[in-house]
Amino acid sequence: MIRPIQQLRLMGIFAFVSACGPTEPSGSNAFVSAPSPGFRHDNGYASRYYFPETFGSGVALFDANSDGHLDLYAVQGGPVPGSPEAAAYSGALPTNQLYFGDGTGTLRDATSQAGDAADANFGMGAHVGDVNGDGLPDLFVTNVGADSLLIATGDDLAMYARTTATTFDVNQWSTAAGFADFDRDGHLDLVVVGYARWSAVNHVDCIADGGNDYCDVKMYDGIQDHVFRGDGAGGFSDKSEAWQFGLLPGRGLGTALTDFDDDGFVDIYVANDTEANRYYKNNRGAGFLDHTDLSGTSSNSDGRFEAGMGVAVANISGNGLADIVVTNFTSESNNLFENLGQSRFRERSRLAGIAKASIPKLAFGVTLQDFDLNGQEDLFTACGHVLRHIEARVSTWSWRQSDQLLLNGDNQHFTEFAPGELFETPRVGRGLASGDLDEDGAPDLIVSNSGDDLIVGLNRLDSLRGFANGVSKGDRWLLLNVKQAASPTNTNTSAIGAKVTLSVDDGSVQTRWIRAGTGYLSQDDQRPHFGIPRGKAVSSIQIRWPDGVTTQYSATELKGLGSLNQVLTIRRE
């Protein structure tokens, strides 16, 4: 059956589309290419344009083999499940890939050692957390179809084993996920976000000006999100109804698990596609209260629901509270929700300079990191349209798009900056993760592109510091490796959910949250990263641990803190 694609996203918005470009000229090479690891995403493209093909996959940065260097897990697609193409597929299915890093930016294929992590499902996202307290990073992979919990074994020849302790087949199509200890029992719990009630059986063929194309999302109903309580041994039980979470179906693509109201309990935010984003306040460990309507985070400043994709969290306003950035559809702009406290937000993307720059883009992956080491977190988004033939319908739009870097100069306003040829080359950007791959102190980038090569970009903003808001070359950094000792009552060894506050001797404060599940279907390096401007010194570090206990460390108490440009381990026994 042939139906026209709904036109709701394309009507009455052309006046807002502009061809604005970066403030700084192209070719600045703020990021340079590292040796390619050789990963190429397979989106399963078929002539019928199956809906999952257009969404791409996530990436995760973490230390898989405990050698101190960041490794990469890249999620793969393949033939779409249930389709005739999948039934007729011959040969080995493409699998998710694991790459070991060596601290120079080079990534070596280690998939043959990955065991069950070499998953051959149609993958969506990868999310990292130690679910059994053995100190090793476990993986939760979302799929079109049943999801996979992969437990790290510590065995070099089979690093991950799929657990059957819990069957994660509640969604036909899961997207974002993340770990946090919601009830503060010392064990990580799990959120799994569902997208659309699509299958190869109920697939609809859609046609537009350019011929067959992907359908508008409103062709398919949304599905419920779920929360699972962890037992500390790798087992989980569905508590969605008991904890009053995700009872209303939605088309979720992004989530952020963060203590937004600063009461010591982790809350949940879900970005939904073309409907209200949802904000769930943690009821002090006794389930959740739906504060969507009260929070001010469900829509843009005009009260319009948008096409939420990825979610990033940072304290942009400087008040010590977690602000939210949500990526959206072309013409809608990305949202910045400023946290006012007590679960109340205001949308201020226009005032912050984000709206005008992002209107021409369709952004998926998103991260907030201090790329230029000036003490303020910057915004990077991976961009690409969802309609393969959008140019035939809107001449100013394109399927392949360049990625976007916005530098934060004064803790209130962002300015577009050319990231260099590597990320200005148009692709169909999807998953994105940031972390220091070459260990020079500046966060690097991994971008997974739908149906295309994965890109590894090494940060070279230090050599361009004169362009970066006037910050002088020579800024420094600090990377914190925050750990907790395991016990029968505490298996959250990576301190997921902790709030880390760094005070500088000029009176300024930087705040980070340790989170599992970031951006769009991806995982940034979980270790808090801080840029320290030249001439400044760290005066103290405060950690509010996942159980609510706060520890203050002075510069004299933290050996070596006076010497920056290092990875500093803080371990709670």
Residue-level pLDDT at 411: 63
Residue-level pLDDT at 560: 60
Say how far apart CA 520 and CA 528 lie, in whole Å. 19
Q: Express each pLDDT in 182-228 by its tens digit.
A: 999 999 999 999 999 999 999 999 987 768 999 999 999 999 999 99
User: In this structure, are strands 278-282 and 288-290 parallel, antiparallel, or unpaired?
Assistant: antiparallel
Residue-level pLDDT at 281: 98
Contact 121, 148 (CB under 8 A): yes
* Burial (CB count <10 Å: 0-12, 13-18, 19+), residue 12: exposed
pTM of the model: 0.93
Q: How far is CA 268 from CA 244, 365, 403, 516, in A?
A: 12, 19, 27, 12
Q: Express each pLDDT in 426-475 by its tens digit.
A: 999 999 999 999 999 999 999 999 999 999 999 998 766 554 444 445 67
Query: Could you tell me the pLDDT band of residue 156, with boundaries at 50, 70 and 90?
Result: confident
Contacts of 452 (CB under 8 A, 6+ apart): 40, 41, 427, 428
* Burial (CB count <10 Å: 0-12, 13-18, 19+), residue 485: exposed
pLDDT value at 24 more than 60: no
Write out 262-286 in H/E/C secondary structure: CCCCCEEEEEEECCCCEEEEECCCC
3-state secondary structure of 89: coil
Residue-level pLDDT at 273: 95
Residue-level pLDDT at 438: 96
Say how far apart CA 215 and CA 523 lie, in whole Å. 28
Q: Express each pLDDT in 54-91 by its tens digit.
A: 999 999 999 999 999 999 999 999 999 999 999 999 88
Residue-level pLDDT at 4: 37
Q: Which amino acid is at 386?
A: V
The per-type count for the chain, helices as H runs and strands as E runs, is: 4, 38
Of the candidates 213, 196, 212, the residue with the CA atom closest to the CA atom of residue 387: 213
pLDDT value at 559 more than 70: no
pLDDT value at 254 more than 80: yes
- Please, what is the average pLDDT of the chain? 90
Backbone angles phi, psi at 67, to 5 degrees: -105, 5
The CB density around residue 492, as the number of other CB atoms within 10 Å, is 30
What integer is the mean pLDDT of 505-516? 95
Q: Express each pLDDT in 26-55 by its tens digit.
A: 446 899 999 999 999 999 998 899 999 999
N residues, the chain: 573
Q: Express each pLDDT in 364-409 by its tens digit.
A: 999 999 999 989 999 999 999 999 999 888 888 999 999 999 999 8
* Burial (CB count <10 Å: 0-12, 13-18, 19+), residue 103: middle
Show the tokens assigned to 494.
Answer: 């990576």
Stated as kind and residue range, the H or E segment containing 504 is: strand 499-504
3-state secondary structure of 85: helix
Stated as kind and residue range, the H or E segment containing 430 is: strand 429-435
Q: Express each pLDDT in 294-353 by its tens digit.
A: 999 998 888 889 899 999 999 999 999 999 999 999 889 999 999 999 999 999 999 999
Say how far apart CA 538 and CA 565 lie, in whole Å. 12
Residue-level pLDDT at 393: 84
**Among the listed ranges 12-26, 121-135, 344-358, 434-448, which one has the minimum average pLDDT value?**
12-26
Show the tokens assigned to 134.
Answer: 């053995």
Residue-level pLDDT at 302: 81
